[in-house]
Amino acid sequence: MTTEPTAMSAVELVTAYSTGALSPVEATRAALDAIAERDPELNAFCLVDPERALIQAKESEARWLSGHVQGLLDGVPISIKDIFLTEGWPTRRGSTSIEADVPWPLDSPVAARLRADGMVFLGKTTTPELAWKATTDSPLTGITRNPADPSTTSGGSSGGSAAAVAAGMGPVSVGTDGGGSVRIPASFCGIVGFKPTYGRIPLYPASPFGPLAHAGPMTRTVEDAALLMDILSLPDPRDPTALAPMMTTFRGQLHRDVRGVTVAYSATLGYAQVDPEVAAVLAAAVARLEAAGLRVLAADPGFAEPRAAFEQLWASGAATMLSKFPEGTRDRVDPGLRAVWEYGETLSAVDHLDARAIAAEVGIVMGAFHTAYDVLITPTMPITAFEAGHDVPPGSGLRGWPEWTPFTYPFNLTQQPAISIPAGTTSAGLPVGMQIVGPRHSDDLVLAMARFAEQVLAG
């Protein structure tokens, strides 16, 4: 185990606290030093609060010394995407139309659970305006860059969280995922990003994107993601769509034997174009899983590309949200978001229901698919990170971000759990992610499979 605090996982930090080898104050100072050193280049944080973080760290240190630890990850430094309400801090969501200098008295369920566990809040991470796209830049905070290559995008919309974790600016973070926004930057930055079953993590306020919207942990290890899930999935009465608590723990199921599980591998989902080097990295990773004892069969799920339905649902949600913003917002927002807003205003209730029906059809197809295959493996992304500051890869001729994220948004439509873990790197050193998808409510299986794959691929 490394003794450098910024390279340690959350679990390793807690172990070090328990033995007295390290204190929460030392770990927090190391994370704050890393932010001071690396964030001027990467721009992962829109708010850092060293004073508040050190107060929380000292309180945690006292609990460890007294033997009255508050939670699973007491004293572990964490960042929070600037989408979640966090008491005492502005939640501007990357928008110049949201004022900072107003009271911020509420914690979202995510922030409330992390606070109750005793975690140390470092600050808030960047997001594209209102988390609308799969890269992270906004009129408010500028461009967030990828630690693997700062000339490239970190992905989005949880790109600030991914960059922070990948760069050692805190071991864990929490993002949101409405079409891949946890998994896309996880893939681009070479970390773990988990989107659980819809409703597994309570949300408040309710998202205008409805059941597309998920929260999820972003970490350097699957074990850390499982522990965060045990914290984040605790109930909150403000979310009437939240699922009932699990009868077991995610950490308790993490090390189960998955070698008897039947795995489907779909290299394209039947319709995606994948960069040859990405395809080669994934194929090699899958071959290693087979050699380790997994039964892997090539199989596509069988649904047609559902991008049009996703874009209708996304645009109608954006239009609903932005219609409540102050006058003049249309002139200030990201031009790409304005185009989505205007498209959403052309859609009717019938259009929205038709799109929901297509989402349900894809869910039915996936339900049938999982009667034959316990989990599905795909690439997380068909490409690696591209030049920062662009919504689509330069020179690609693509119109919008859903065109280059064909593996992620379908599983927001179906509300299934899906995780991205590092699968390897290209010859240029850019990370490639592997996505593991399971049936709805199989979050524990997906995490256990990801843990097995993580160990095999690290060996």
Active site residues: 81, 157, 181
Q: Tokens representing 201?
A: 């993590």
Q: Kindly list the distances between the CA atom of residue 296 and the CA atoms of 109, 194, 252, 448, in Å, as whole numbers in the listed order.
A: 38, 22, 25, 16
Residue that the structure tokens 């508050």 belong to: 70
Q: Tokens representing 129?
A: 């305006």
CA angle at residue 438 from 146 to 157, to 5 degrees?
25
User: CA 130, CA 28: separation in Å to the nearest integer?
Assistant: 29
Q: Where are the alpha helices (DSSP H) in 292-373?
A: 307-322, 329-332, 335-345, 349-372
User: CA 449, CA 23: separation in Å to the nearest integer?
Assistant: 32
| C-alpha R_g of the chain | 20
User: CA 453, CA 103: separation in Å to the nearest integer?
Assistant: 45
User: CA 76, CA 84: separation in Å to the nearest integer?
Assistant: 19
Residue that the structure tokens 């071959």 belong to: 287
- Residue pair 270/301 in contact (Cβ under 8 Å)? The answer is yes
User: CA 127, CA 342: separation in Å to the nearest integer?
Assistant: 21
Q: Which amino acid is at 166?
A: A
